[in-house]
Structure 1
Amino acid sequence: MIIDVHAHWGPWFFTMDVAGANLAAMDRYGIGLSIVSATEAVIYDAPAGNRALARWLATTERHLGYVTVNPRRQADAERDLREHLPTGKFAGVKIHTDYTGSPVSSPQTREALAMVAEAGVPALVHTWGATVLDLAEACADTPGLRVIAGHMGADGYPYAIEAANACDRLYLEPCYSHAPAGRVARVAAAVDRTRLLFGTDSTLIDPASAFGAVAAAGLDAETAELVAWRNAVRLFDLDITA
């Protein structure tokens, strides 16, 4: 069993054939479940993208969704959380700090994260470089909040180690468009292995990148299983057994 906690559904804003790409990639790499955000919701219109994703999720058993939240549109976010989370097809919240121009340290994103904590679901938050430290601070300051540092800081993965060790409700997932040698191994050796997840950034990036990075880390069998699916099952409270 493999659970991909960072994936996408829908076309991107550049030329790319995504018809069937998500399921085909899942089958190719043995991914049993993907948790996806709607690209429309992430890059353009959160409510419209969330509604489209909700309709599509009703047709599939191998996907769950993220309700995408734009921190600058709090009323939309509150309404979408009320509408979509009770359906059982959405497992968490997605916040992309760059596309919305809302840094983790901004009051808007802090308020959005408080909203997520109240809803009782995890949030996947885009992090890059030292911004993962801001996410750890926000998590520590917000009771009950559980966050996944998307890309685990990308090239700033040493900051991700510091962030994960500063807040025990912060999780890391590795997807990244580059593959620095030793990145996943260094993180896995330095943080609590129960807070490591698997993410690919599919369909934006082929899952081969994340698979290769994790394979190169040489994780022991128990840790590899935790990363592949067990940690995600616990974090998202999924009814899944191997």
Structure 2
Amino acid sequence: MIIDVHAHWGPWFFTMDVATANLATMDRYGIDRAIVSATEAVIYDAPAGNRALAAYLETQERLLGYVTVNPRRLREGRADLRAYLPGGRFVGVKIHTDYTGSPTGSAALRDALAEVAEAGVPALVHTWGASVLDLAQACLDTPGLRVIAGHMGADGFRYAIEAANACDRLYLEPCWSHAPAGRIAEVAAAVDPGQLLFGTDATLIDPSSAYGAVAAARLDRETAERVAWRNAADLFGLDVTDR
């Protein structure tokens, strides 16, 4: 069983071959379920992208959705949270700090994360470098908030270790367009295994990148199972009895 907690649906603004074969790509790597955000929502128009994804999810059993929220347009975000979370096909919130110009230390992001905490779902937040430390502080300052540090800081993965150890409601997922040797193993050895998730950044990046990086870490059986699906199932409250 594999659950991908960082995936996308819809075309990008540049040519990406993997963008055209979401389910086929999942099958190739044995990914049973993926939680996706609409690329249109992430990079251009959150309400339009969320609306399109909602319609698509009605046709797909293996995909679940993130409601994408732009912290600079929080009124729209609140409306979308009310519209889509009750239906059960959306199980979390996606916030891209760079595309929205809402850094992890900004008041706008803090306000958006407060809405996420009130909604009672996890948020996947884009992190890079030391920004993951600001996200950990926001999590500590917001009661009940659960956040996933997208890319676990990328080249700042050692900051991600510090962040995860500071806040037990912060989770790490590994996708990145680079794969430095030993990165996953170093993180897994230094944080609570219950805070580790699997994410690929498909359809932007082929899942082989994250899959290979995690496999190369040679995690013990229990940790590997936690990373592959068990932690995600617990975090998002997913029924995996049919696995």
Q: Which stretch of structure 1 is more off in the superposition, 15-24 or 88-97? A: 15-24
Is residue 10–residue 18 contact of structure 1 (8 Å, CA) maintained in 2? no
Alpha-carbon distance in structure 2 between the residues aligned to 1:130 and 1:4: 24
CA drift of 1:18 comes to: 5.2
1:95 corresponds in structure 2 to 95
Is residue 71–residue 102 contact of structure 2 (8 Å, CA) maintained in 1? yes
The one-letter code of the counterpart of 1:119 is A
The one-letter code of the counterpart of 1:196 is L
SS at 1:72 equivalent:
helix
Is residue 18–residue 205 contact of structure 2 (8 Å, CA) maintained in 1? no
The one-letter code of the counterpart of 1:155 is D
Work out whether 1:45 is the aligned partner of 2:45.
Answer: yes
Alpha-carbon distance in structure 2 between the residues aligned to 1:4 and 1:185: 19
The TM-score with structure 1 as length reference comes to: 0.99
Alpha-carbon distance in structure 2 between the residues aligned to 1:76 and 1:133: 27
Alpha-carbon distance in structure 2 between the residues aligned to 1:169 and 1:69: 20
Q: Which runs of 5+ in 2 are unaligned?
A: none
How high is the sequence identity, in percent, across the aligned residues? 79
2:146 corresponds in structure 1 to 146
Superposition CA RMSD, Å: 0.8
Aligned residues: 242
Is residue 127–residue 150 contact of structure 2 (8 Å, CA) maintained in 1? yes
2:21 corresponds in structure 1 to 21
CA drift of 1:16 comes to: 2.8
Alpha-carbon distance in structure 1 between the residues aligned to 2:17 and 2:3: 23
The TM-score with structure 2 as length reference comes to: 0.98
1:156 corresponds in structure 2 to 156
Is residue 5–residue 232 contact of structure 2 (8 Å, CA) maintained in 1? yes
Is residue 129–residue 153 contact of structure 2 (8 Å, CA) maintained in 1? yes
Structure 1 runs of 4+ off > 3 angstroms? 17-20
Q: Which runs of 5+ in 1 are unaligned?
A: none
SS at 2:72 equivalent:
coil
Alpha-carbon distance in structure 2 between the residues aligned to 1:71 and 1:19: 26
The one-letter code of the counterpart of 2:69 is V
